[in-house]
Chains A and B, each alone.
Chain A
Amino acid sequence: MFAYIVRRLLYAIPILVGVNLLTFLLFFVVNSPDDMAVSQLGEKYVTPAAIQAWKEKNGYDKPLFVNAQAAGAATLTDTIFFTKSVRLFAFDFGRSESGRDITTDVSTRMWPSLAVALPTFAVGIWVNICVALMVVMFHATRLDRWAVFGFVALMSISYLFYIIGGQYLVAKSWKLVPISGFHGGAQAWKFLLLPVLVGVVAGIGSGARWYRTLFLEEANQDYVRTARAKGASEISILFGHILPNALIPILTGVVVLIPSLFMGSLLIESFFGIPGLGSYMLDAIRSQDFAIVRSMVFIGSILYIVGLILTDISYTWADPRIRLN
Chain B
Amino acid sequence: MNTSAAVLRIRDLCVQVAADGEEILKGVSLALQAGRIFALVGESGSGKSVTSMAAMRLLPDALAITGGAVHMGGQDLFALSEAGMQSVRGARVAMIFQNAMSALNPVQTVGRQVAETLRLHTRLRGAALRQRVVDLFAEVGIPDAAARYAFFPHQLSGGQQQRVMIAMALACEPEVLIADEPTTALDVTIQAQVLRLIRQLTRSRELAVLLITHDMGVVRHTADEVGVMYRGQIIERAPVDDFFRNPREAYSRRLIDALPDLSHFQSAAAEELLLQLQDVKVHFPIRRGVLQRTVDHTRAVDGVSLAIARGETYALVGESGSGKSTLGRAILRLETLAGGRILFKGKAIEGLGRRAMLPWRREIQVIFQNPHSSMNPRMSVGDIIAEGMISLGLDLTAQQRRERITALLQRVQLGAQFSQRYPHELSGGQLQRIAIARALAVDPQLIICDEPTSALDVSIRAEVLALLQELQREFGVSYLFITHDLSIVPGLAHHVGVMQAGRLVEQGSAEQVLTAPQHPYTQALLRSVPRVDGA
> What is the interface of chain A, defined by CB distance below 8 A to chain B?
3, 6-7, 10, 140, 221-223, 225-233, 240-241, 244-245, 248, 318-321, 325
Contacts and interface: CB of A to CB of B under 8 A. Distances in A.
Nearest to B94: A229
A10 B292 CA distance: 12
A309 to B, nearest CB: 14
B168 interface: yes
Given A3-B288, A222-B102, A225-B58, A230 B154 contact: no
Given A230-B90, A233-B86, A223 B120 contact: no
Contacts of A321: 106-107, 152, 154
Contact of A223 (B58, B61, B106, B288): B106
Given A222-B99, A222-B103, 17 more contacts: A7-B290, A10-B290, A222-B97, A223-B102, A225-B103, A227-B105, A228-B58, A229-B56, A229-B90, A229-B97, A231-B88, A231-B91, A232-B120, A241-B108, A244-B105, A245-B106, A320-B152
Interface residues of B, number: 34
A231 B89 contact: yes
Interface of B: 56, 58, 61, 83, 86-91, 94-95, 97, 99, 102-108, 116-117, 120-121, 152, 154, 165, 168, 288-292
Contacts of A229: 56, 58, 89-90, 94-95, 97
B163 to A, nearest CB: 14
Contacts of B88: 231
A320 B107 contact: yes
A204 to B, nearest CB: 27
Given A231-B86, A325-B288, A226 B154 contact: no
Contacts of A240: 116
A244 B61 contact: no
B89 A226 contact: no
B292 A7 contact: yes
Nearest to B53: A225
A223 B290 contact: no
A223 B121 contact: no
A320 B292 CA distance: 23
Which of A227, A233, A319: most chain B CB closer than 10 A?
A227
A230 B105 CA distance: 13
Given A231-B117, A319-B107, A6 B290 contact: yes
A223 B83 contact: no
A223 B104 contact: yes
Given A7-B292, A222-B99, A244-B108, A232 B56 contact: no
A223 B105 contact: yes
Nearest to B99: A222
Given A225-B58, A231-B91, A245 B102 contact: no
Nearest to B105: A223
29 contacts: A3-B289, A3-B290, A223-B104, A223-B105, A223-B106, A225-B58, A226-B105, A227-B105, A227-B116, A229-B89, A229-B95, A229-B97, A230-B90, A230-B116, A230-B120, A231-B90, A231-B91, A231-B117, A232-B86, A241-B108, A244-B105, A244-B108, A245-B107, A318-B107, A319-B106, A320-B154, A321-B107, A321-B152, A321-B154
